[in-house]
Amino acid sequence: MDIPTYTPAEAPVPTGEIVIERGSTPQQLGPKLNRTAADVVRFLLQQGEMVTATQSLSDDMIELFAVEVGAEISLVDPGEEQEVELQKVLDLEDDVDVDAGDLPHRAPVITVMGHVDHGKTKLLDQIRNADVVAGEAGGITQHIGAYQVHRDGRELTFIDTPGHEAFTAMRARGAEATDIVVLVVAADDGVMPQTIEAIQHAKAAEVPIVVAVNKIDRDNADPNRVMQQLAEYDLVPESWGGDTVVCQVSALQNLGIDELLENLLVVAEIEDLRATPDGRSRGAVLEAHLDMGRGPVATVLVQRGTLRVGDPLVAGPAWGRVRALINDRGEQVKEAGPSTPVEVLGLSDVAQAGDEFVVAPDERKAKSVAETRERWHREASRARDASVMSHGARLEDIFAQIQAGEQATLNLIVKADVQGSLEAVTESLRKLERPEVRIGFVLRGVGGITESDIQLAATSSATIIGFNVRPGRQAREMAEVEDVEIRTYEIIYKLLEDIESAMVGMLEPEFEEVVTGEAEVREIFRVPRIGAVAGCMVQSGNITRGSKVRFLREGTIIWKGEISSLRRFKEDVREVAAGFECGVGLSDFQDLKQGDVIETFDLREIPRT
């Protein structure tokens, strides 16, 4: 059979670099190069390659045809084409020739860093006249908070980062998103490991460092010793002839705060920070979590452009049209400009903390890019934990396997309240691995512990670890039936200590929390001079006046305290049993909503084996 000689069609080939996915068929390849599928098949037939119009082509075949028609192509992995096209759009915007001096000034983004318990959050409290510390478990910050404050007619954006070593990645993200670092060092404690880490992150990000020597009101405070230690890390104070701004403050006594803010404004002025409020918005995801009432929520920092309600947004594997923007004061806003932190509602999934977010040209492209990324993440996770399901064991069985000289795999399901905490817990647990025992993660997720988690744990012989989340009553009952162990924690130190102790067989007696009762909030009553009272139906156990209590919203702990008053109709009672209604007053909590759960508990000492 005579094969007709292939002659390139007369239609011009598109100019510039054309993105082609690997494995494309002639039907997909031809139109992108302004040719038909028949043109591609005919040419390859002439080269001795028998292909059909719907057959996937090798890289060599695609490149051979591109050279023949005179096209410049870029081969990308399947699904990556939309990603590359989106990046091209962003690069075109970046190439627009704009004189930086013509851009408007923006607020400086200031990250507060330092060692655990050196007073970072308390310092921020004084700056913004708020009380963040009271809501933190164990007095340590375990999430990223972003806030804006006003000073002398100008705005400053503050990012508070955790100090515990487990949250290194979160601190690193803070440094990458920031313009100025405030390094908080306690005058009575000096430079500590996380202080050094914070200095390294700030220097790697090449941002100016302003040192706040805190707790100068303490009797054993020694600011000079702190400054001497800082000088060893090339942070020489201005008073010593160096170029590092050092302010002595007391967050507790509200001393030196004004001087610190004035210095920050001066440093920001020297840095001459500018950004365009026009064009496609871009920025960083600082934190993300799942709110069952509002869906996936991401805290983002806008770095350029203006983010508006209704914009098609993609952040890592998550995408969606922005349904609402909420500022740091809890107010809904229509738009957010450069250096503004906001919560974004409307995403399809929980974004990854640290991801870049961009506003896509349209919703279709945002969805396509996000779905491709999600597929990559899923495949990578599946490959990493491939052996976990079949070879793992529960926490209580690990020591027996180690004693028998076997290599053991500890299967864990880790659930946390927010994405950043989940990442920190996961990475910290990975560091506990040793030759005789490795850790396999069957599932890592954000949100409360559900019945499906229990089923998965039972199937894979896994222990469930909950960080700032709790199981619901049905999940707890299912866990008892399926003999699934659930361990819940609010402080990461305790979590790591327990897992490590179990792995080396050094378990000591501990106190176990025994849930004594559970009630669902049905109605909220506002009583003059008393405040909010929850009208509840007791679902299980007994609710007792004076009991320790957790307040749960969709499985996440939002408050802990005591029951201050308990009534049946108009009478004060000591205890209310399951199936009865009652009125519950909580010691100092007023943010009550229908559907919330009040869980009472006692502490019981149990032997560890």
Residue 365 lies in a domain: no
Q: Is the torsion defined by CA of 168, 174, 177, 182 positive or negative?
A: negative
Percent of the chain topping pLDDT 90: 8
* Same domain, yes or no: 231 and 255: yes
* Structural Rg of the chain based on CA atoms: 29
Q: What is the mean pLDDT of residues 215-238?
A: 87
Nearest alpha-carbon partner for 321 in 284, 365, 377: 365
Looking at the fold, whether 256 and 163 belong to one and the same domain comes out as yes
- Report, as an integer, the average pLDDT of 147-156: 83
Percent of the chain past pLDDT 70, that is, above it, reads 80
pLDDT of residue 537 exceeding 90, the answer is yes
Q: What was the pLDDT predicted at 380?
A: 52
Are 220 and 261 contained in the same domain? yes
Would you say 313 and 366 are in contact if contact means Cβ atoms under 8 Å apart? yes
Whether residues 498 and 527 fall in one domain: no
Same structural domain for residues 426 and 298?
A: no
Structural domain boundaries enclosing 239: 109-271
Determine the straight-line distance between the first and last CA of the chain, rounded to whole angstroms.
81
**Which among 524, 528, 516 is positioned nearest to 584, based on CA atoms?**
524
- Kindly tell me if the per-residue pLDDT of 117 is higher than 60: yes
Instruction: Give the pLDDT confidence of 333-355 residue by residue, as tens digits.
Output: 999 999 888 999 999 888 877 77
Candidate from 425-434, 484-493, 599-608 with smallest mean pLDDT: 599-608
CB atoms within 10 A of CB 379: 10
Going by C-beta distance under 8 Å and a sequence separation of 6 or more, which residues neighbour residue 1?
none
Q: Which residue has the higher pLDDT, 265 or 147?
A: 265
Among candidates 50, 144, 38, 79, which has minimal Cα distance to 374? 79
Residue 307 pLDDT more than 90?
A: yes
Confidence of residue 508 (pLDDT cuts 50, 70, 90): very low
pLDDT bucket at 504, cuts 50 / 70 / 90: low
SS3 content of the chain, % helix, strand, coil (to 5): 30, 35, 35
Q: Are residues 518 and 501 in the same domain?
A: no
Pair 259, 397 in one domain: no
User: Is residue 161 domain-shared with residue 310, that is, in the same domain?
Assistant: no
Q: Does a structural domain hold residue 86?
A: no
Question: Residue 602: is it exposed, middle or buried by C-beta count within 10 angstroms (0-12/13-18/19+)?
Answer: middle
Contact 121, 133 (CB under 8 A): yes
Q: What is the mean pLDDT of residues 16-36?
A: 84
- Residue 555 in any domain: the answer is yes
Higher confidence at residue 4 or residue 287?
287
What residue type is assigned to position 31 of the chain?
A: P
- Indicate the DSSP class of residue 100: G
Evaluate if pTM is beyond 0.85: no
CATH of the domain at 490: 3.40.50.10050
- What digits encode the pLDDT tens for the residues 239-248? 888 888 899 9
Domain with residue 229: its CATH number is 3.40.50.300
Q: 387 pLDDT exceeds 50? A: no
Higher pLDDT, 474 or 371: 474
Residue-level pLDDT at 493 = 82
Query: Based on the domain organization, do 348 and 392 belong to the same domain?
Result: no
Q: State yes or no: pLDDT of 529 exceeds 80.
A: no
Which residues on neighbouring strands pair with residue 534, listed in sequence order? 524, 584
Other CB atoms within 10 A of residue 135 CB: 12
Residue 9 covered by a domain: no
- pLDDT value at residue 609: 45
Distance CA 77, CA 472 (A): 43
Task: Give the pLDDT mean for 109-128.
Answer: 82
Cα torsion 167, 168, 174, 175 to 10°: value is 160
Within a domain: residue 367? no
Please provide the DSSP assignment of 22-69 as one string: TT--HHHHHHHTT--HHHHHHHHHHTT----TTSPPPHHHHHHHHHHH
Average predicted confidence (pLDDT) for the chain: 79
**Can you tell me the mean pLDDT for 505-517?**
68
Average pLDDT of span 159-170: 56
Q: What's the pLDDT score for residue 113? A: 83
Please answer whether residues 154 and 182 qualify as being in contact, where contact means their C-beta atoms are separated by less than 8 angstroms: no
Calpha distance 91→93 (Å, rounded):
5
The mean per-residue pLDDT over the stretch 345-366 comes to 83
- Residue 295 CB-density burial (10 A; 0-12 exposed, 13-18 middle, 19+ buried): middle
What number is the average pLDDT over the span 86-96? 54
Contact 252, 122 (CB under 8 A): yes
Length of the chain: 609
Give the pLDDT confidence score for residue 131 in this predicted structure: 42
Structure tokens at 110: 């200031």
Residue 441, CA distances (Å) to 58, 384, 393, 427, 504 in order: 37, 9, 11, 11, 19
Going by pLDDT thresholds of 50, 70 and 90, the confidence category of residue 379 is low
Look at residue 41 and tell me if it is in a domain. Answer: yes
Q: What is the CATH number for 565?
A: 2.40.30.10
Do residues 179 and 239 both lie within one domain?
yes
pLDDT at position 419 over 90: no
The token duo for 580 is 């009865």
Identify the CA nearest to 556 among candidates 425, 446, 426, 443. Answer: 446
Q: Which amino acid is at 215?
A: K
| Residue 401 pLDDT | 55
Cα gap 248→228, rounded to integer Å: 14
- Spatial separation of the C-alpha atoms in residues 77 and 18, rounded to whole Å: 14
Q: How many CA atoms lie within 13 A of 510 on its CB side?
A: 15
Total domains in the chain come to: 5
Which range (166-180, 347-361, 585-599) has the least confidence?
A: 166-180
Angle at the Cα of 345 (from 339 to 348), degrees rounded to 5? 120
Within-domain flag for 141: yes
Residue that is last in its domain, among 492, 507, 522: 507
Q: Which residue has the higher pLDDT, 362 or 184?
A: 184
**pLDDT higher than 80, residue 260:** yes
The two three-digit tokens of residue 30, written as one number: 């031809």
Q: Is residue 354 part of a domain?
A: yes
Q: Are residues 302 and 419 in the same domain?
A: no
User: Residue 414's pLDDT is what?
Assistant: 92
Q: How confident is the model at residue 582 (pLDDT cuts 50, 70, 90)?
A: very high
Co-location of 520 and 500 in the same domain: no
- Cβ atoms within 10 Å, residue 349: 19
Task: Please report the pLDDT score of residue 272 as a whole number.
Answer: 85
